[in-house]
Chain A
Amino acid sequence: MKVSFFETARYRPARALPPEWPVPSEAYDREAGAEAYRRMIERLQYVEELGFDWVSVSEHHYSPRILTPAPIVTAAYIAARLKKIKIALLGPIVPQSNPVRLAEELAMLDTLAEGRLVVGLLRGTTNEYLTYDLNPAEARARTDEGIELILKAWTEPQPFGWQGRHFRYRTISIWPRPLQQPHPPTYALGVSRESCELAARNHVGCGVSYAPFEAVGKATRYYREQCERHGWRPEPEQIVYRANMALGETDADAHALLERQPNRAPFSMRQGVSDAFMRLDARNIAGEARAPIRAGALPTTFIGGPDTIVEQVRRCREEVGAGVLDLSLIPPGWGDPDLLMRSLELFGTKVLPRIREI
């Protein structure tokens, strides 16, 4: 099992923040922001030292919960400050980006990072549709087309035009090309039928997140079936599972830690907006409909002391087939950074060495 640390640039506000997304930017504290990025690098140096394989970053906007609206900037900064660990961009929100620009930036980043880049491409959480005025009815189609265009821009040696449904370019010829050939390890992130099919069709990895093993297992099973249909078999490392973990010295400690965490939806919007999204957005797990917006906190699927966690990781490997775990040890937007450092130490010393061989 490979292990990735999900870095969210822990922003610690001096005072309570408005609960609603988007969070008014007047509440931003510049000192706290600068401190969050400083401590991010200290923390990641420790993460690297502990032997994590990847550090992952994501794209979220208009909120302090995950303070990385520009994941490419975050990744480039991390790549310059750390020398060994792989940098997983999980990932740029494709449907609201210019795919050619993304292909260029990712190729440049892979080169700057000396081939340490891992790329996850995704549609994004529902709230992010509001960020750059993305029509939810088109998000899926723009994601699929955008991902295929990025892969093409990385691999097509001759200048080419793209006559798409949502994107149109008369000539594309990117420089630099990625250092890793034909392109960096790439994942389509999402549990939907469409995402799994796209990943299988394009021979890229599949990334699933948060839901219990049984639910994400459905998606990864569907992905593997589709790969089979397209005549190939993914390596375990081509399935990544992002999850929350509550780790304690003992099982009881872990449950106590979990109980202290708020059961708050990560990006809660005004009621009228949420209601409209429930009608306008459609999500599924391997074809089975699910609500586009979660009511409470994201689930925590690894809970326990080291022994229990090791067993759960073993079960995850069997049921989900994941070869990479992308972990939050303390949920983003909660808890102080010292608590996270203690959890990291516990994980790095008591768990990580024991799950390598799983």
Chain B
Amino acid sequence: MSGSAFREGHVEADGFRIRYLEAGEGPPLVHLHGAGGPRPNPAHALLSRRFRTILFEMPGFGQSPENTRTETMPELASTMAQATAKLGLATFNLMGTSFGGKTALWLALQAPERVLALVLEAPAAIRQEGAQSPSGSPEEMARRLYAHPERLGAMPPVDPAVRAKQAALVQRLRGPDRDRDLEDRLEELATPTLVVFGTADAVIAPAMGRVYKQLMPNCHLVFVYDSGHGIGTDRPEAFVEVVGDFLDRHEAFVISQTPTVIHP
């Protein structure tokens, strides 16, 4: 992660050795990554200026060994809740990206008293029928994930072994496009929740955002203009501004505090 001071650490939780990156001070913000594994992006660096930002690598993703043990998303959520406890986080803000958005929702359902606020970045917990994870060459992946891949450097090639290991796990845990077990419980989740979708998301239909609004009692929906699925990469400043504001003020984030004075 360029230009930021993320330190690597490990925590033993639920029988897994879990790697994480951490930077910044302030209220804790725990991040759960998408199906492609941990992909630190400029938004994480910006968030670390205001929050103690902890980017977990969930068991079976990235550098971690293959995870053949976790059978369901609620199990993965429980593992990650234990990891946060092992880090000494009694309460924390929780952000889940895409696949990790579903993990985050389950975690919040399991331990609502520990989650101060929830940010779901292009969450994949509720999907349009037949939604497919991005796949193919790095270039094809970039075209699915980002509205402006041309602005990014060349995508690093992904180790085929890592990809295969992750794909099997994701396939096992992602659940149906419309997961009744989860959706039936969302009405009980009063955690302040911000759902963010890019207007040009080519992986999860941004129209899914309204379903969270309809199901959750304290949910707010924001579209980030001209962003694809990877909002923190496509529009990091825009994304971080609204996320930071929401984590600070929860539902009162709808009240603008932006000055418009041109000259005093």
Contact = CB atoms under 8 A, between A and B. Distances in A.
Interface string A273-290: 101110010000000000
A135 B259 CA distance: 7
A138 interface: yes
B261 A130 contact: no
Interface in A117-150: 129-130, 133-138, 142
Contacts of B254: 130, 273
B255 A273 contact: yes
Contacts of B251: 270, 272-273
Contact of A134 (B249, B250, B256): B256
A51 B254 CA distance: 44
B258 interface: yes
B262 interface: yes
Nearest to A277: B255
Nearest to B257: A135
B146 to A, nearest CB: 27
A83 to B, nearest CB: 41
Nearest to A164: B262
B260 interface: yes
B153 interface: no
Given A129-B256, A130-B255, A135-B257, A276 B263 contact: no
B260 A137 contact: no
B161 interface: no
Contacts, number: 49
Contact of A135 (B252, B258, B263): B258
A166 B259 CA distance: 9
A138 B261 contact: yes
Nearest to A135: B256
Contacts of A130: 254-255
A20 to B, nearest CB: 11
A135 B264 CA distance: 16
Interface residues of B, number: 15
B264 A165 contact: yes
Contacts of B249: 276
B175 to A, nearest CB: 27
Nearest to B251: A272
A273 B252 contact: yes
A163 B263 contact: yes
B77 to A, nearest CB: 26
The A contact surface, by secondary structure, is helix
A136 B254 CA distance: 11
A168 interface: yes
B257 A168 contact: no
Contacts of A134: 256
B260 A272 contact: no
Interface in B202-260: 249-252, 254-260
Contacts of B260: 135, 138, 142, 166
A188 B57 CA distance: 59
A280 B256 CA distance: 10
Contact of A129 (B255, B261, B264): B255
B252 A276 contact: yes
A31 to B, nearest CB: 23
B245 to A, nearest CB: 12
A129 B254 CA distance: 9
Nearest to A130: B254
B248 to A, nearest CB: 11
Contacts of A167: 262
Nearest to B252: A276
A138 B258 CA distance: 9
Nearest to B262: A168
Interface in B42-66: none
Contacts of A133: 256, 258
Contacts of A277: 255
Counting chain B CB atoms within 10 Å of each CB, the highest count among A134, A137, A272 belongs to A272
Interface in A150-168: 163-168
A215 B203 CA distance: 58
B250 A166 contact: no
Nearest to B263: A165
B252 A165 contact: no
Contacts of A138: 259-261
Interface string B79-107: 00000000000000000000000000000
Contacts of B259: 135, 137-138
A79 B252 CA distance: 39
A166 B262 contact: yes
Interface string A159-196: 00001111110000000000000000000000000000
Given A272-B251, A273-B251, A165 B256 contact: no
Contacts of A166: 260-262
Nearest to A279: B252
Nearest 3 Cβ contacts at the A-B interface: A276-B252, A272-B251, A133-B256
11 contacts: A129-B255, A130-B255, A136-B256, A164-B263, A168-B262, A168-B263, A272-B251, A275-B252, A276-B249, A276-B252, A280-B255
Given A136-B256, A137-B257, 10 more contacts: A133-B256, A135-B258, A135-B259, A164-B263, A168-B262, A168-B263, A273-B251, A276-B249, A276-B255, A277-B255
Interface of B: 249-252, 254-264
